[in-house]
């Protein structure tokens, strides 16, 4: 019904940059909240950055000033610009979206996850 497709991960040197993209497709009436999470081996998944339909954003303290989340509502796409990358940023990054769909009878909301994309920061 709804699919989130991520791209942009890879291997980068410390201090480098990457831009992650997540495109949502399917039965989408409205995207309420979109965000990026990450999970390193042996660690819990954590919120990196999020953005609401109203335009508000929030970031984990560890990435403030280095990462920027943005969205293109017309394309149902969210981006994560990552600058000044550090080895501790190494993780699988997941796109998440809470969105509303319409089945012809009623509206309903669900939470969806992308497949994850590996980001490795190493020299």
Task: List, for residues 13-60, the tens digit of each pLDDT value.
Answer: 999 999 999 999 999 999 999 999 999 999 999 999 999 888 899 999
User: Token pair of 21, please?
Assistant: 């993209």
Query: Which ranges constitute the DSSP H helices of the chain?
Result: none
| Chain centroid offset of residue 51 CA | 9
Res 87: pLDDT: 98
Closest of 115, 19, 21, 24 to residue 67, by C-alpha? 19
């Amino acid at each position: 019904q709804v699919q989130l497709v991520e791209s942009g991960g890879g291997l980068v040197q410390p201090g480098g940059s990457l831009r992650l993209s997540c495109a949502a497709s399917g039965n989408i009436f409205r995207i309420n909240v979109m965000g990026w999470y990450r999970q390193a081996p042996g660690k819990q998944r954590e919120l990196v950055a999020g953005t609401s339909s109203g335009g508000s954003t929030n970031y984990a303290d560890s990435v403030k000033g280095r990462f920027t989340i943005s969205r293109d509502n017309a394309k149902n796409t969210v981006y994560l610009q990552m600058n000044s990358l550090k080895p501790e940023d190494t993780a699988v990054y997941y796109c998440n979206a809470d969105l509303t769909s319409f089945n012809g009878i009623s509206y309903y909301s669900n939470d969806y996850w992308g497949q994850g994309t590996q980001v490795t920061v190493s020299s």
